[in-house]
Every structure is written in structure tokens, then in C-alpha cells.
Amino acid sequence: MAWAESIVGALKKHNVRFLNYVPDTKIEKILQAARQLGGFEALPLTREEEGIGVVCGQSLGGGRGVMLCPTAGLGNSINALASLSIPYRIPCPIIIGVRGDLGEFNPAQVAMGQATQDILDALRIPTYSITREDEAEKITDGALRICYASEGPVAILVTNEVAGWKEGKAKT
Amino acid sequence: MIDRTEASKYLVGKLKDELVVTSLGNEKYDLRSGGERDRNFYNWNAMGMASSIGLGLAMARPELKVIVYDGDGSLLMNLGALATIALREPKNLIHIVWDNRSYAMTGGQPTATAYHTDLAAMARGAGYPKVERTETLEAFKSAADRALTEPGPWFIHCPMQEKPVKGGGLPSPTAIKHRFMDAIGARH
């Protein structure tokens, strides 16, 4: 997937080394591209909130990590963002695989997917969407720049427009 | 039962360049009363996050020992961190858990450890290779001495009786961050 390779290329350009994740089909594409390029360490988490703590710890140590998760996982991360990354001003880039949007088959993904932008806006977290393959590099690069400049969380949404939607079993 | 204030004083006296990350509970005030250190990262209100911050620090700075100063309530809120720390196995991580079996900052309501939950058993089950349960100050000193010199990850479970803590108040979050990062030469 060219969009995933572009994202990973931008991560490398900014010396991001740690890919902390809760999996998702889009996130798996990014992890595959990272394995191919090399030079990253992937850490699977039990829950996304943990990942915010881990990324912040890596940042405090002078390392660079990102949190990779689906939209549902953003819901699991909110208080860690609000009580750690934001008040302490710790860079925390979050790459979010969108669910509950265009083409969604799973009824239980929709509410969180549709609320994602409003939740990020309510916390004043700068948010950028990748909707086309040819802008994936620029958006990831630009989002990381503002993240390290502002020293706080920044979200990158990998949309279904660019990455497709998950095929699942329809309701019976 | 261990006196956390005494134990903290002993630990701080032993520390050199180690990093310490606290949970949001009263243990942070005991740590601070043992002697202020630039390499302490105090947590104002990130519930459950001390262990995860400690893991991230241990990954970014493998040359430094990282001590997590945690509480039973905080760990119970982020039990998955035990599994994640165990799978990553950072040899430089020391996870100390002060277990007063209560939410001391909100009125002393009981936590699960007041009933049937054994945090040392959970750490062992999660896969921590070094787990100690210390019931006395002497046992704590001996476990802390070993943890500071032998590879981990370590889990030191300290049952204790909560008592009023002296002190209180912390520098601002950004002041804590900048002081901590400056001390270890870290930049974002």
C-alpha cells in the first residue's frame, strides 16, 4: 500500500522509532510497511490508554514514538491525553485507522467513528485526515512537525477514502 | 507492615542517576519528602499511567534504571500494563507498588486488594521475571538493593498501612517536565 509506505517514510524522516499499537486492518498495513523499511520497534498494547502513557514516557526520555489505533481506541485514550500529554506538553502523535465511516458494516463502530472529529476538537487536538494516497507523506510530515513544535497530541486520521473499508459479515 | 515514608527515605538515599515516575497517589509526596530530585517525574492526575510512562522511558533510555512508584488503585486501573511490561521485558525497569488496599486520596474506600486480589501474584502471572513481596522495612531494603543492581523487570509489592502524609503541592506539570528532561539531557 503506497499510502502506508508514505506514512512510514515520514515517520522515519522525523526519527520516530517506536510504533506502539493496538491492531486494526489499516494499522497492520502501516506495521507491514515499517517492517519492510526496518529501523522501528513495534510494541503491542492491551489498551490504547496505555499507549498514550508509553508514547509520553518515550518522549520524556528524548525518544520518539507514535500511537497507532482504530477510532474505537481513541475513546479508550481520552483521559490520558487530557491529564498527561496536554497539561505536561508532551508530544504524542496518534495515527488513527478510521472505522464507523464510509462503507462501515459493523453497527457498533458507527457512533465512535462519527464522534471522533468532535472529540478531538473538544480537546483542541490538531487533527489531519489522509484521504488521498498522494497526500499521505505531506500530511504525516506536516502533522509531526506541528506535534513537535506545539509539544502536545496531534491526530492523523487514515480514512476509508484512501485505505478502503473493512469487508465484514452483514447483519443477518 | 512497612512505613512508606521510612522506605522512601531509604530508597532516595540509595539513588544516583535513576529515573523515578510516580502515580498520582500519596506515594509521590513520600518520595518527595525523601529528598527532592530533578530525575523525579510527578504525576498530577494521569490515572493509572505511571507504569506505562515508566515503560516508555525504559525503552527510550535503556542505559538508565527507571523506577515506577505505583499504588494499588493506580495499578488496578491499568492492569494490562503488567502484561505489556512483561512481554517487552525492559531489564532496566523496577516497578514498586505501595498497597494500602484503599483509595487514600478520595476518602479511603477499599480497593480490590482489600478483598481477594494479590498484585504480586498478578505480576507473576503476567510474566514479570523478578517478583518480591516485602512485608518489612528490612525486606524492602534488601529487595530494593537487589533491584538497583540486578536486571529486571522487577516487581516489588509492598503492603502498607496508610497514614497522613506531610507536604503536598507540586510544581506545575510543565515545570516538572522541563526539569526532568533537562536533568537527563533529553529533547523532544
Concatenating the DSSP letter of every residue in B26-95 gives THHHHHHHT---TTEE--SS-TT-HHHHHHHHHHH-TTS-EEEEEEHHHHHHTTHHHHHHHHH--TTEEE
Domain ranges of chain A: 2-163
Q: Does B69 touch chain A (CB under 8 A)?
A: no
Question: pLDDT class for A44, splitting at 50, 70, 90?
Answer: very high
Question: Is the residue at B148 inside a domain?
Answer: yes
Cell of A73: 481506541
Q: CB-CB: which of B49, B51, B58 is closest to A84?
A: B49
Cβ proximity of A65 and A94 under 8 Å: no
Which residues in chain A are contacts of B55 at CB distance < 8 A?
53-54, 57
Would the pTM of this model clear 0.95, i.e. be above it? yes
Q: CA-nearest residue of chain A to B62?
A: A61
- Name the residue among B152, B137, B167 with its Cα closest to residue B10: B137
Question: Is the residue at B87 inside a domain?
Answer: yes
What is the model's pLDDT at position B56? Answer: 98
Which CATH number fits the domain that encloses residue B45? Answer: 3.40.50.970
- The arithmetic mean of pLDDT across residues B133-156, rounded, is 97
What is the model's pLDDT at position A86? Answer: 98
Highest CATH level, class, for A2-163: alpha beta
CB atoms within 10 A of CB A165: 17
Q: Does B105 touch chain A (CB under 8 A)?
A: no
| Measured distance CA(A22)–CA(B140) in Å, rounded | 36
Q: CA-nearest residue of chain B to A151?
A: B188
Question: Is the residue at B20 inside a domain?
Answer: yes
> DSSP letters of B121-144?
HHHHHHT-SEEEE--SHHHHHHHH
* Number of compact structural domains in chain B: 1
Cell of A24: 486494526
| Measured distance CA(A103)–CA(B108) in Å, rounded | 49
B13 phi, psi to nearest 5 deg: -65, -25
Question: pLDDT class for B163, splitting at 50, 70, 90?
Answer: confident
Q: Do A57 and B57 touch (CB under 8 A)?
A: yes
Q: Does B158 touch chain A (CB under 8 A)?
A: no
Question: Is the residue at B91 inside a domain?
Answer: yes
| Residue range of the domain that includes B80 | 4-183
